[in-house]
């Protein structure tokens, strides 16, 4: 994927039966509805890209604390991953997605059943 910029690291994760949320802190300018991604190891060989949409922003100690909800194809959602230890997600880099073609693909895959 092109047009990716590291903007922070995951500080908190919440997963329930319907949704997954991450929280990260950034100095970068972000807005509601922006898309971010992180890559996690699935096993020793494979990795998975997880996409999120920023749904909340607040100021904390002069930085932006962002809450993002997972979006994209439901079949690869965090809450569907067997044996996922969410503690391993803390500290992973969060990257901003700015490429419009990539964003259009995320929006389209969110509609797949």
End-to-end CA distance of the chain: 24
Higher pLDDT, residue 113 or 92: 92
Tell me the whole-structure pTM to 2 decimals.
0.87
Cα Rg of the chain (Å, integer): 13
Q: How big is the chain, counted in residues? A: 113
Q: What is the pLDDT of residues 74-91, one digit of tens each?
A: 777 888 888 888 999 999
Q: Looking at per-residue confidence, does 84 or 32 come out higher?
A: 32
CATH architecture of structural domain 4-109: Beta Barrel (2.40)
Give the residue carrying structure tokens 């996922």.
Answer: 84
Closest CA to 7 of 41, 34, 33: 34
Average pLDDT over all residues of the chain: 88
């Amino acid at each position: 994927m092109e047009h990716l910029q590291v903007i922070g690291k995951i500080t908190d994760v919440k997963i329930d039966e319907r949704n997954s949320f991450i929280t990260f802190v950034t100095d970068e300018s972000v807005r509601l509805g922006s898309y971010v991604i992180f890559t996690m190891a699935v096993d020793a060989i494979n990795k998975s890209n997880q996409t999120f949409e920023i749904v909340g922003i607040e100021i904390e100690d002069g930085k932006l604390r962002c809450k993002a909800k997972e979006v994209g194809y439901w079949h690869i959602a965090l809450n569907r991953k067997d044996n996922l230890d969410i503690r391993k997600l803390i500290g992973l880099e969060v990257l901003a997605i700015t490429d419009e073609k990539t964003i259009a693909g995320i929006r389209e895959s969110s509609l797949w059943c």
